[in-house]
Amino acid sequence: MRNEEHIKSFVKRSGRITNVQRYFLKNKKNNHNFFTPTETINLYKLFDNKNPCVLDIGFGDGKLLSNIAKINTNINFIGLEVYESGIGNILKQIEKSNLSNLKVSNIDAVSFLKKYVQNNSFYGISLFFPDPWPKKRHYKRRIINANFLENMLMKIKKNGFVKIVTDWENYGERIIELLDENKKFEKIQDISIYKERILTKFEKRGISQGNRIIDLTYKAK
């Protein structure tokens, strides 16, 4: 994997925080569903079981991820989100549904994978509607590139999956090119845990705008 400078795929903005989100954010350090890694994580210790674990990158408002975790109690989930409103929102949802199989962190995914995750750790990694950075001069900010795919590949188990969904056609086409160029990935049918998933707000907006939803699932050979 080439040693390239890590260009952030996001811009931190001080968005509106609701009172409920603010409450959960204020108390997140004492919330066992929230963690800030300081060393390589041990998934068995984090969840106190040996169930397979899926990493979800950029969960947004958290509704999709918390719903999937609620339905699939035999699978552990880690969710990453850089925006505090999303963290506050999903912590509320976790408490409401009393979920023990979902942990979240407010950390950049590239740093998380490189610094804190052992190789061959995850059953799968998902990215739903990553920021498309639609202007051509900003394409370099897109999180999915050849290096990031290689990084994900190292962190999933053999036959583990990568699932990516976008409604930006040229981004989706580029992702397909990158996955097909990487001979260590093989296109497969959707993973069962996602077959009846709810739609995200970005997905609903994309559909209302007439955008094609590009839903991709590949496994590591």
Catalytic residue ranges: 131
Chain-centroid distance of CA 155 in Å reads 13
Q: How many CB atoms lie within 10 A of CB 89?
A: 24
DSSP string, 4-70: -----S---------HHHHHHHHTGGG-TTB---SS---HHHHHTS---EEEEE--TTSHHHHHHHH
Interacting residues of 200 by C-beta distance below 8 A, sequence separation 6+: 60, 61, 63, 64, 128, 129
Helices (H) and strands (E) in the chain, counts: 8, 7
Interacting residues of 128 by C-beta distance below 8 A, sequence separation 6+: 56, 58, 59, 60, 64, 165, 200, 202, 203
Q: Tell me, what DSSP letter sits at residue 168?
A: -
Distance, CA of 2 to CA of 74 (rounded, Å) = 37
